[in-house]
Chain A
Amino acid sequence: MKARVTVTLKNGVLDPQGKAIEGALKSFGLEGIASVRQGKVFDIEVDTVDKSRAEALLNQACEKLLANTVVENYRVEVVG
């Protein structure tokens, strides 16, 4: 199965990279960009066809390595 894990900074954690990207977008004169926060996406293939097992496995992967839960949130989506 294929899955996508998204890791983002928690609210309130300073994101200087997001700010810099936001500034660059605004400098193009793109109207309506209010704010930018950046994060990471992991596309992962898992050896199971059981969706709940895949989710459990990827939650573990996030807790162990993919996210630092002190400052980051993660979201697991099994896309089939």
Chain B
Amino acid sequence: MRAAVITFPGINRQEDIARAFTIAGAEAVHAWHADTSLPQGTDVVVLPGGFSYGDYLRCGAIASRAPIMEAVRAHVAKGGYVLAVCNGFQIACEAGLLPGVLMRNAGLKFVCRAQHLRVERNDTAFTKAYAKGQVIEVCIAHGEGNYVTDDETLARLEGEGRVAFRYCDAGGDVTKRNPNGSRNAIAGVYSENLRVLGMMPHPENLVESLVGGTDGLGLFQSLVKAA
């Protein structure tokens, strides 16, 4: 399986997420924002975390209009997989690949800490290695992760089972430990065909026991099997 990790100016998590794919048994290759095509044989497009264009205008807004994004759109239209993490999630929303917007954290603070998530379903390409309802611990590091949609879109996402992860406490209570005010404690959402996943937390931070846990590894292993 080949994952193409796209670097935009100001992105800084591209090596970490490429490493997570490598550890999970995939081949990770890099692509550049100004490219007009994806590397040959790309199975998964990865939009990594960071601060593309210094978060100018709106987080992800300028990156979402980069030349490579036309190729990403074509990849999505063909049913290709996309994993969009943190700033990548913001880019995916701005590009219209996923619904909603990531707004300033309700508490106004940049939140950087370990965070529990509840896996909402385990029948997608991203989550087969987990159990449904499993509580995993990964990291969050963002100032604008407050997931907002209108009521109608929110009802549609919930109705179609498109919430991937919710913020929760260690016991799985999703009414606790919401770090940013996201509606319905949403930490990640899927596209309609469940092949594009956007999430604020960083699963790539926890793929080796040396750095405190491996709860994020399952996501990469799931994708490697599926793609």
Contact = CB atoms under 8 A, between A and B. Distances in A.
A66 B57 contact: yes
Interface stretch (B102-110, B116-124, B157-165, B206-214): B102-110
Interface stretch (A14-22, A27-35, A51-59): A14-22
A69 to B, nearest CB: 10
Interface residues of A, number: 11
Contacts, number: 35
A70 B105 CA distance: 17
A3 B44 CA distance: 43
A17 B108 contact: yes
B174 interface: no
B101 A14 contact: no
Given A68-B58, A68-B94, A70-B101, A14 B106 contact: yes
B88 to A, nearest CB: 17
B148 interface: yes
Interface string A9-51: 0000110110010000000000000000000000000000000
Contacts of A66: 57
A65 B65 contact: yes
Most buried by A among B58, B61, B181: B58
B52 interface: no
Interface in B50-69: 57-58, 61-62, 65
Given A13-B148, A16-B108, A16-B181, 11 more contacts: A14-B148, A16-B106, A17-B104, A20-B108, A64-B65, A65-B57, A65-B62, A68-B61, A70-B148, A70-B150, A71-B148
Q: What are the nearest 9 A-B pairs in CB distance?
A: A16-B108, A70-B101, A71-B101, A16-B104, A16-B106, A68-B101, A20-B108, A68-B58, A17-B104
